């Protein structure tokens, strides 16, 4: 299972499953999997993150959006990285004015999160 599927949004969706009829549960689970796989592909293609291990754990980072994630395990670092991408996207996309540099960061994040999936 993808670490992105541990995202609070996906956890919340999974917790709602028992309240839905079985066909709807299956459809929602399939949509969530498709979305997760597609976003992960876009992150790797657009942002090209890299993982570095040191004596304290792992760091996942990219030079394009300037986001990073840290964790004791590779999975924790990726989860932290995903959450930082979502947070930055939400903050930057709701800002009234951005510097040229932040506009470029937002452009990369839009390539990841916007568009048909």
How many Å apart are CA 9 and CA 28, to the nearest integer?
13
> How many domains does one find in the chain?
1
Q: Which tens digit of pLDDT belongs to each residue from 64-112? A: 999 999 999 999 999 999 999 999 999 999 999 999 999 999 999 999 9
Torsion angles phi and psi, residue 53, rounded to 5: -105, 140
Domain ranges, residue 23 = 4-113
Q: Which tens digit of pLDDT belongs to each residue from 53-76? A: 999 999 999 999 999 999 999 999
How many Å apart are CA 115 and CA 52, to the nearest integer?
30
């Amino acid at each position: 299972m993808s670490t992105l599927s541990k995202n609070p949004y996906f956890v919340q969706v999974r917790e709602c499953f028992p309240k839905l009829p079985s066909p709807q549960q299956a459809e929602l689970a399939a949509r969530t999997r498709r979305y997760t796989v597609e976003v992960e592909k876009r992150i790797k293609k657009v942002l090209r993150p890299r993982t570095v291990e040191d004596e304290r754990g792992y760091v996942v980072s990219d030079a394009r959006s300037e986001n990073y994630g840290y964790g004791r395990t590779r999975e924790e670092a990726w989860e932290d990285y995903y959450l930082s991408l979502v947070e930055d996207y939400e903050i930057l996309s709701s800002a009234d004015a951005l510097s040229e540099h932040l506009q470029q960061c937002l452009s990369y994040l839009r390539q990841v999160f916007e568009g048909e999936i």
